[in-house]
Amino acid sequence: MLIAQLSDPHVRPKGELYHGVVDSNAGLAAAVEHVLTLDRRPDLVLITGDLVDHGEPAEYDNVREVLLALPIPFLIIPGNHDDRENFRAAFADHDYLPHRGPLHYCVDDHPVRIIGLDSTVPGHHHGHVDQAGLDWLAATLSQDTTKPTLIMLHHPPFVSGIPYLDEYRYFEGAALAAVVERAPNVEIVVCGHVHRSMVRRWARTVLVTCPSTTTEIDLQLAASAEPSSHDGPRGYLLHLWDELEGMTSHARQIGDFAGPYPFA
């Protein structure tokens, strides 16, 4: 099974730019086009939050229009820039999304079971899953402890070392890890939020974060570093699961580069 993960498109109303400088709408459209040019078409696409920038209905109308070009099933979770109720209304045809409360769900229609975890806190930018959500996750994981499982959430539950990202991270990662580590079949945990690719051993599994289709948040590790981003490189992740080999993740950059050349 091949899974493409897109994240943090921050779609704006038509004609408006992300932070007034970046065409985030074109970035998502380019990412969709890039996925469709792969030599193997993904079986499923995951979009790990911040589908839009301000949570406005006009933005959701626009992201729906861009995603019409995607002839592949896709699953979504909200991020801190999404509005949970506007998100739910915009994707009311996605039957796996709950009709009320946090948007936690499990989709078991594929060789890899997909669990979506809503880590958003309405009105805030940090991540959190309350005790009811942790209990739901524990019960869902316990229903099948053998099928390969992927968990997706927006906020990475660890310290990245980038100071201006860690100010609004998922702060109580240990409680979430305590639930996840009891499930021996969690192949991978995938996140967005940080607009960068990161890899970490976490909760007895592997956790990866996805680049944004819009901007890359700069890697600065000094405690005094000020928030900084660049208009690219844009990218996404591909997660290749094989019954014998398990899960392997690949990073793809979006853009035009010299080549191909006849060597490897």
Between the alpha carbon of residue 135 and those of residues 64, 109, 117, 153, 210, the distances in Å are 32, 23, 12, 16, 26
Assigned domain for 264 exists: no
What average pLDDT score do residues 46-57 get?
A: 98
Q: Is residue 262 assigned to a domain?
A: no
Q: Report the pLDDT value the prediction gives residue 71, as an integer from 0 to 100.
A: 96
Contact call for residues 236 and 255 (beta carbons, < 8 A): no
Kindly indicate the confidence band of residue 83, based on its pLDDT and cuts at 50, 70 and 90. very high
Answer yes or no: is 260 within a domain.
Answer: no
- pLDDT 10s digits, 1-28: 999 999 999 999 999 999 999 999 999 9
Task: Let me know if residue 97 belongs to a domain.
Answer: yes
Mean pLDDT of the chain: 97
Q: Using CA atoms, how far apart are residues 209 and 160, in angstroms rounded to an integer?
A: 10
With 0-12 / 13-18 / 19 or more C-beta atoms within 10 angstroms meaning exposed / middle / buried, residue 32 is buried
Query: Are 186 and 141 contacting, i.e. CB atoms less than 8 angstroms apart?
Result: yes
Task: Identify the burial level of 18 via C-beta atoms within 10 angstroms of its C-beta, where 0-12 means exposed, 13-18 middle and 19 or more buried.
Answer: buried
Q: What is the mean pLDDT of residues 175-204?
A: 98
Q: For the chain, how many structural domains are there in total?
A: 1
What pLDDT does 200 receive? 97
Average pLDDT over residues 227-233: 95
pLDDT at 127: 97
What is the mean predicted confidence (pLDDT) over 175-182?
98
Query: Would you place residue 228 in the very low, low, confident or very high pLDDT band (cuts 50, 70, 90)?
Result: very high
pLDDT, mean of residues 68-87: 97
Mean pLDDT of 93-120: 97
Residue 245 within any structural domain of the chain? yes
> Is 222 part of any domain?
yes
CATH of the domain at 82: 3.60.21.10
* Residue 196 pLDDT class (50, 70, 90 cuts): very high
List all residues 6 or more positions away from 94 whose beta carbon is below 8 Å from its beta carbon: 75, 76
E-only strand ranges, 176-242: 186-191, 198-202, 205-209, 216-217, 229-230, 234-242
pTM of the model: 0.97
Flag whether 261 is in a domain.
no
- Extract the tokens encoding 226: 């000020």
- Domain of residue 65 covers 2-254
Residue 149 pLDDT level (bands cut at 50, 70, 90): very high
Has residue 136 been placed in a domain? yes
